[in-house]
A and B are shown apart, each in its own frame.
Chain A
């Protein structure tokens, strides 16, 4: 079947072998991404956000393995050999990592790091590639790009380095951009600059974007759709308005309620979700959220709720859906 999805993920499951046993980091995840769309992925630390996209990009650690299907347009790309994957990775699909220093080589000038991919994948000459790199640095707001392109990563500030990363990710006009907490390490004023930049770039290039973040404010401003993760599974998905104004899953509801707001004076104590996130190595039978949920019933510890669709493009994994 042909669709116009750029990326189609089906039954993606990723686990890691560890000395203490198997860790099911990503469990049966399904979603699709359309051109120009921005998908927000939220959830607690360790809920599997990063590993979904590490699996898709073929960047899992050695002890990890995935099953399921990931299609870029109509091509199956899950578990492709690196040589094949490199035709797509960094070219049609790029990823920006939380810590820019993990993907920038500290010993190479930015010019070298940026031109390589263009020469290799776009068949540009060194000169053409350098011009394109400078134009892209300029586009992401690096002043004096023509000089700065010859600097080393450590000579840039944190915010500038993140801009360099974005410029690098966009060099080959990717159709999919995956941004993993791209502003978490930055100050709010610099975060605002980077978010503005991402919004602008999206208008200009119509890139489909995945925004992985724990900041529900960032998602509110930037995303069309939201996928909420808990314990390695998707627990709720819907349009940004559905999620924020009419959340169905108790975890989503709790998360939104527990955020202090800069635009409200709240004189009461904050709503707090009790307890702690689950240990993926030791998930309970039934719903992973049961120990923290205010709506828990006997059924929740006996049986695991599956992600159930309702309305247009919405789904929630909770037995409360049955009663609605």
Chain B
């Protein structure tokens, strides 16, 4: 095994992506025939910048808005409000003809590797499809050569080019998805739970592959996951979401060494550590209760119904995301005292 240094993001250049006050609200039909629609605030005001070569982790419980955020950034879901600036230019609401050339640089890979591949296409066709769409000027032979090169790069045998997805294992299907996302050499890939469906032994292979590709192509990644151990390994910065709101946004070392938000603390302490002595003796913050319904989120701080430190103020005022240091932002009224 070769030891490799993690990629260093280019923080001194300008961000490739700037997201400002991004909101995605879904209209949910009211219960009665004439009842008004209700608003489900899946993403409710997210801000961040992403630099070339940087990986931003997005974590939080099921339904907190991770996938919706990822799709809204790529304009696969229309944002309700806010700005998504790609290389300095807002792309929210951009017409198809403007978006189309940008799609080359913006790719996505999904959680369920097999379900996201067209079962009637050979894997060669699947991987080639973005090339055929975006670079029709390339000849057949050139496309085939590029597909084979990419297959080899992601660890698939090029002679399997004419096989169908169902003939591959989960890990191999994820490699196919990655090859397809990488074939146009994009600048950003949104990875939506890319290893959650895979065996532990295969997860490590895919995580390593993503990191190698990142270094080689100076890729930026948005890595959506509920696995905080993998996120610690692969991400430079981490955003913690709860009911569509950012609770904490910080660089990797700050958030794991000194989490400031009660929810982040609880999340980190809940992750089981594969070491019996450490796992049995560690301090844990066990949250009570379940996630509230996103249709009627708590007033004030959305986390207050499960927060062990909640006070009256938390029900009245929504805490704003504030800098506690140059690389750590927290949304909690009492982050200094807890």
Contacts and interface: CB of A to CB of B under 8 A. Distances in A.
A260 B230 contact: yes
Contacts of A273: 201, 204-205
A271 interface: yes
Interface stretch (A109-117, A166-174, A187-195): A187-195
Q: Is chain B's binding surface mostly helix, strand, loop or mixed?
A: helix
Interface stretch (B15-23, B177-185, B286-294, B329-337): B286-294
A269 B2 contact: yes
A276 B169 contact: yes
Contacts of A274: 205
Contact of A214 (B199, B208, B271, B278): B199
A108 to B, nearest CB: 23
Contacts of A284: none
Given A193-B286, A196-B286, A277-B199, A244 B276 contact: yes
A270 B270 contact: no
B280 interface: yes
A258 B5 contact: no
A243 B1 CA distance: 23
A262 interface: yes
Best-surrounded residue of A159, A196, A240, A268 (most CB of chain B within 10 A): A268
Contacts of A83: none
Contacts of A269: 1-4, 208, 211-212
B6 interface: yes
B229 interface: yes
A44 interface: yes
A191 B284 CA distance: 13
Interface string A52-72: 000000000000000000000
Contact of A270 (B62, B233, B267): B233
B270 A191 contact: yes
Given A240-B276, A269-B211, A44 B270 contact: no
Contacts of B211: 269
Contact of A260 (B172, B229, B267): B229
A270 B208 contact: yes
Contacts of B338: none
Given A189-B287, A221-B279, A276-B169, A263 B204 contact: no
Contacts of A218: 272
B266 interface: yes
Given A45-B199, A269-B208, A192 B270 contact: yes
Contact of A244 (B202, B269, B274): B274
A44 B276 contact: no
Best-surrounded residue of B212, B266, B276, B286 (most CB of chain A within 10 A): B276
A261 interface: yes
Contacts of B35: none
Nearest to A45: B199
A: contact size bracket: 35 or more
Interface in A263-291: 263, 265-274, 276-277
B212 to A, nearest CB: 8
A189 B266 contact: yes
B275 A258 contact: no
Nearest to B169: A276
Interface string B282-302: 001011101100000000000
B275 A244 contact: yes
B244 interface: no
Nearest to B266: A189
B: contact size bracket: 35 or more
B274 A188 contact: no
Nearest to A243: B276
Interface string B302-332: 0000000000000000000000000000000
A269 B286 CA distance: 32
Contact of A261 (B4, B202, B273): B273
Given A160-B290, A190-B290, A192-B286, A259 B200 contact: yes
Contacts of B233: 260, 266, 270
Contacts of B149: none
B207 interface: yes
Contacts of A271: 1, 204
Interface string A235-258: 000001100110000000011101
Interface in B193-217: 199-205, 207-208, 211-212
A215 B199 contact: no
B71 interface: no
B226 interface: yes
A216 B200 contact: yes
Contacts of B199: 44-45, 214, 277
B124 interface: no
A215 B273 CA distance: 9
B274 A216 contact: yes
Contacts of A190: 61, 290
Best-surrounded residue of A160, A189, A255 (most CB of chain B within 10 A): A189
A221 B280 contact: yes
Contacts of A272: 201, 204-205, 208
Contacts of B267: 188-189
A261 B256 CA distance: 11
B171 A276 contact: yes
B273 A263 contact: yes
B37 interface: no
A145 interface: no
Counting from the closest, the 4 A-B pairs by CB-CB distance are A217-B272, A272-B204, A216-B274, A192-B270
